[in-house]
Structure formats: structure tokens, C-alpha cells
Structure 1
Amino acid sequence: MISFIIPAHNEARLLGATLQSLREAAGVLAEPFELLVVDDASDDGTAEVAQATGAQVLRVEHRHIAATRNAGAEASTGDWLVFVDADTLIDAAVLAAALQALRSGAVGGGARVRMQGKVAWHVRLATAFFACVFRLTGIAPGCFLFCTRTAFERAGGFDTTLYAAEDVALSRALAKQGSFVILREPVHTSARKLHTFSAWEHLKLVLRFAWRRQHMLTSREHLDLWYGKRRD
């Protein structure tokens, strides 16, 4: 069975479409599945939206993406784990490719990412560039990461010393166990961070990371891109 694990903090606006896309993709493929939304300290209608679609809801108070994803994995029951961000849409084609990879012996993988909505040409170019980098380096963007439960447990789950880039760490840990694939089929994710945060704020984040490197990822202090309260 597939366990779809969706971490969510104040995601009432976009969560419904994500859950519907997962339900439809699994339905087209006639695959057994469960939907588990890990509601991390939301104060909007996230839980109500999840329940309205028939998803299970697990309430946590972490405000820590790695710990939240791990809590979902622990509460799930499927043999295959698919971690999907609450603002990301997948279709039957990418899900079928992921399952085929697992059935062919891969321990896990990810997919290319395309931005939804109207996005400037240079942003699309940058997205395509980073997609190639991720594919060449074997890193799965956290908005869509799949693996076997066995491989996930052997990897120790998401690294809870990290408040960001936990997807990079898990990708590397899984790749040490066997084949880790980045699919050609894309998923579609929200471009809201590009609208919510200015180009200058994105640049400052990159410069801070270049200066502090790994130390920057072990605290929420400079990670407003993920933990700030602003939304478009």
C-alpha cells in the first residue's frame, strides 16, 4: 500500500487540491493508498480541509519539517512512503513512474519540479537549471520524495538536526542503500515563495548559507523562507 504523507502548517488554502490530486492519481492506477496529513501547529482550517477529503489527520506541535515528516512516517502503515508538500500537485503519470521504479528495485527517488501559475521567464530558466542539477546529483526536492519503508527506516528517517535541506540529507542516505532515481515526469508545485519573498530576500538567504553553511540549517533563525508567517 502507498502511504501519502503530507506535512502541513496553515495550508487550508492549497491543501484540498493537493489531496484531490493524490486521490485521483491513485484511483486511476487502482492502487491501495492512505492519505495522512500531519497538521503541524496550524491555526487555520487545515485539519478541517483534510478531514473533508477523507484524509487522516495527525496533530503535532513541532514546527520542524523533518520531525513532522518523521511523525507521519511513523503513523503510516504502507510499504511505500510518498512525501508530498501541501502545495504540490501530482498526476497518475508521475505516480506510475515512481511505483515502477520501486517495483524495479529502486529504494526511492524524486521528480522534476515545475512551478504552477504565472512565473517570469528567468525564474522558469532557473528552475530548469536546478532541476538538471538535482537530477545529475541524485537529490529529490522535498515537495515529492518517495521510498520504501525499509529503506526509510535504515536511513534513520529525516535528519532532525536540520530545519531545512532535510530532503537533501535523506536523498543521500537513501542513495547509499541502492538505486535512487529522479524521474523525468514532473510534479507541479506552488510558486508562492517567489511571490511572498523578494529577490533580495532570496539572495540574502543564499549569501548566509554560503557564509555559515551547515550551521545555518540547524536553527529556524534565518529560515523565514520556510518558517516565516508570510503567505501570498
Structure 2
Amino acid sequence: MISFVVPAHDEERLIGATLDALDAVIRALAERAEIIVVVDASTDATAAIAGQHGATVIEVDFRHIAATRNAGATAASGDRLFFVDADTRVDLAVVSSALAALKCGAVGGGATVRLDGPLSRSERIAQRFIAWLLRLTRIAPGCFLFCTRAAFDAVGGFDETYFAAEDVAISRALGRHGTFVILREPVRTSARKLRTHTIGEHLKLMFQLVWRGRSLLRSRTDLDLWYGRRRQHPD
């Protein structure tokens, strides 16, 4: 069994396309698969849309991405786990490559990221830099991370002391546990974090992270980039 876990908070605008893409992949795979959408403190139609797409819907009230991902993993039946953000579309090529990597002994991995829609010069530069950095550091982007159930359980899942960068923490933990790969095949994800926050706000967050270190990542109130209200800029 393959389990696709989709964490979602107020994602009615984008989650339909994400689930359509997953449905297409599952139809093309010759393996059993399930989709679990973990709806976290949503106030919109996210849960209803997920149900209409045939996903298993779990509703929680954490407002905490690591805990939300872990809740999906707990409910999942699969021996291989794929964590896919609600604003991210995958295709058969990247999922097949991930499954092949697991079959060859990898414990987990991530993928290259492509941002949706026409990109400005600064967005293209950011996309290339992020892709280079992820491959260099072997860190999976939070929008797409896969692993075996055995490895996930062995490292204790996503670290719930973090409100952000939980993807970095589990990538490093899985990398210590075994082979962790970054695929060349891309996933497509929303560029809204770049478009709803200014360059200055991104730089401010980076400086705060350098100054405060991990303590910043353990404070939800200081992470407006992830938990603030400016999330629905049209792509």
C-alpha cells in the first residue's frame, strides 16, 4: 500500500488540482494506494472538496504542520508514505522515480521544485537557488517528501517541537538512518509564499533565523510566512 498524506488548512482553491493529479497517478500505478487529507483548523470548504474527490478526510485542530503530517501518517495504512502539500501537483514520473529509489534501498527523499505560473526574474532566481540548495544539502522540500513506514517510525516522524523546518529536521534524521535522495524529476507547487510576502519580509525572517536559531522555528507567533493570513494570492 502507498499512502499519500495531504495536510491542508483553508486550501479550497488549490486542493482540487492536487487531488486530481494524485488520482491520475494512482490510476496509472499497478499498486494499491490511498489518499488521506488531514484538514487542520480549516474555515472553508477544504474538507468537503477532499471528500468529493474520494479521499479519506481527517479533521484536526492543531494549526501545527508537523503534528498535522504525523496525524496523517498515524491514520495511513501504507508501508510507503508520500507527504504532498495541498498546493502541490505530482505526476507519474516523479512518483515512479521515488518508488524505484525506495525499491533500490533508499529510506526516503524529495524532489526538484518548479513554481507555478509565469515567474518574474527574482522568482526564477529563487527557484534555481532553492533547487541547487536542496540538492546540495539533501533536504527534501516540505511540499513533497517520501519515505518508508519503517524509516518514518524509526526516526520518530516529524519533530513536533518545530512549527517550521520540520521537513529539514526529518530529512536530516532520515539521512542519518539510511540513503536519502533528491530526485531530478520535479513537482509543481504554488509560488504564493514568494508573491504574498515581500523580499524584505523574507530577508527579515532569514536574519531572525540567523540571530535566534532554532528558537524561532519553535514559535508559531513569529512565523507569519507560514501561519499568517496572507496566503491566497492568485497565481
TM class by shorter-chain length? over 0.9
* Structure 2 partner of 1:62: 62
Residue in 2 that maps onto 1:201: 201
Partner of residue 71, structure 2? 71
Q: Determine whether 1:13 maps to 2:51.
A: no
Structure 2 residue aligned with 1:177? 177
TM-score by length of 2: 0.97
1:26 aligns with 2:49: no
The CA distance in 2 between the partners of 1:51 and 1:157, in whole Å, is 26
RMSD over aligned CA atoms reads: 0.8
Give the deviation of 1:201 after TM superposition.
1.2
Confirm or deny: 8 A CA contact 1:108 1:148 kept in the other structure: yes
The Cα of 1:191 is off from its aligned counterpart by 0.5
Name the structure 1 match of 2:137.
137
In structure 1, list runs of 5 or more residues that go unmatched: none
Query: What amino acid sits opposite 2:171 in the alignment?
Result: S
C-alpha contact (below 8 Å) 1:36/1:72 kept by paired residues: yes
- Please report how far the alpha carbon of residue 118 of structure 1 lies from its aligned counterpart in structure 2 after TM superposition: 1.6
Could you tell me which amino acid in structure 2 is paired with residue 188 of structure 1?
A: R
Could you tell me how far apart the structure 2 residues matched to 1:124 and 1:174 are? 29
Q: Contact 1:26–1:95 at 8 Å: present in 2 too?
A: no
Q: How many residues align?
A: 232
- Structure 1 residue 48: Cα displacement: 0.5
8 A contact 1:8–1:40 mirrored in 2 = yes
SS at match of 1:122: helix
Shift of 1:175: 0.7
How many angstroms apart in 1 are the aligned matches of 2:226 and 2:137? 23
- Shift in Å, 1:121: 1.9
Q: Which amino acid aligns with 2:53?
A: T
User: SS of the counterpart of 1:26?
Assistant: helix
8 Å CA contact retained: 1:140, 1:171: yes
How far off is 1:221 after superposition? 1.8
What pairs up with 1:38-187 in 2 under 5 angstroms?
38-187=38-187
Partners of 1:130 and 1:76 in 2: CA distance = 30
Among all aligned residue pairs of Structure 1 and Structure 2, give the percentage whose two residues are the same amino acid: 60
Q: Residue 26 of structure 1: CA displacement?
A: 2.0
Structure 2 SS opposite 1:81: strand
Instruction: Work out the CA distance in 2 between the residues paired with 1:225 and 1:181.
Output: 27
SS in 2 for 1:111: strand
Q: For structure 2, which runs of at least 5 residues remain unmatched after alignment?
A: none
Q: Secondary structure at the match of 1:42?
A: coil
**Secondary structure at 1:123 match in 2:** helix
Off by >6 Å, runs of 4+ in structure 1 = none
In terms of mean alpha carbon deviation, does 145-154 or 214-223 score higher?
Answer: 214-223
Secondary structure class of the residue paired with 2:213: helix
TM value normalised by structure 1: 0.98
